[in-house]
Amino acid sequence: MKMLKKLEAIRKVQGYEAQVKEKLAEIIKQTYDSHCYMVDDFTIGESAVDVTYSYICRGYGDIDYAVVPIKWLDEGFDYKAAFEEECKKAEEKRKQEEAEEKKRKEAAKKKATKQKEQKEHELYLKLKKKYEKA
When divided into structural domains, the chain yields a total of: 2
69 with 85, same domain? no
**Enclosing domain of residue 118:** 80-134
4 with 40, same domain? yes
C-beta separation of 31 from 80 below 8 A: yes
Element (H, E) at 101: helix 79-133
Record the pTM. Answer: 0.70
pLDDT, one tens digit for every residue, the chain (134 residues): 789 888 888 888 888 888 999 999 999 999 998 999 999 999 999 999 999 999 998 989 999 999 999 999 888 889 999 999 999 999 999 999 999 999 999 999 999 999 999 999 999 888 888 888 76
57 with 116, same domain? no
36-44 and 60-69: which strand pairing?
Answer: unpaired
67 with 98, same domain? no
Q: Cα-flanking dihedrals φ and ψ of residue 16, to 5°?
A: -65, -40
